[in-house]
Amino acid sequence: MSKHGPMELKGIQENRPVIVLLLSDSCPEEWVRHIGAGCEEEGVPLAWGRRSDGRASSLAKEAAVISRLEVGIGLDRTESAVTMFSLSEHPPYVAAFHGGDPLVLRWLGHNASRLVKREPLLDKEEFLKKRKVSKDLSKKLQSAAPKLTEAGEESYEELVKKVVAYVLEGLGNVRGG
């Protein structure tokens, strides 16, 4: 039990094994969505609650104690931390400055879930690079409106050419080429 007493966790059914996220009151609730997306993509559920004070590392330790999966995430205004109950006497297993960046928060959710599944953690820079390429490609595709023919019909041939070019460009960037 927490030193702050029992708490109601949001986002999950009672007694379900979950990763627990504790965030300070200074954090926007929107950040939960980004961390939750990373957890969801890995197939591990997340529950969360707020604390009026605390640094990311201490919040993560408290969250790990509460979590039935024994993995906790702590988040304050600038820092994030992930730890396991078995490591509560040590520094966090993962610690990072997040600056509110949705991709960093999503990466955090992925890695907390990977600790639960005992899978290798994702490299932060590699994860961010791949996601940025995907995001840029998506923006380019959205702006690639098909041209109209003389009869007012859309020329899908032009659109297909653009899509293929963007995909090939994206693959080259992801593979380092």
Retrieve residue 38's tokens.
């990373």
11-22 pLDDT, tens digit each? 665 678 999 999
Retrieve residue 110's tokens.
């992925």
Mean pLDDT of 43-69: 94
What is the residue type of 17?
Answer: P
Averaged confidence pLDDT in the chain: 83
* Predicted confidence (pLDDT) at residue 2 exceeds the cutoff of 60: no
Q: What is the predicted pLDDT for the residue at 30?
A: 93
CB atoms under 10 Å from CB of 172, counted, come to 11
Q: What's the CA gap between 117 and 144, in Å, rounded?
A: 40
Mean pLDDT of 57-74: 95
* Predicted confidence (pLDDT) at residue 143 exceeds the cutoff of 90: no
How far CA 9 is from CA of 21, 46, 47, 49, 95, in Å, comes to: 9, 10, 6, 5, 23
How far CA 51 is from CA of 36, 125, 134, 145, 176, in Å, comes to: 18, 30, 35, 47, 42
* Predicted confidence (pLDDT) at residue 69 exceeds the cutoff of 50: yes
Query: How far is C-alpha 68 from the geometric centre of its chain's CA atoms?
Result: 20
Which residue from 94, 86, 67 is spatially nearest to 75, judged by alpha carbons? 94
- The superfamily in CATH containing domain 19-122 is B12-dependent dehydatase associated subunit (3.40.50.10150)
92-122 pLDDT, tens digit each? 888 888 888 999 999 999 999 999 999 999 9
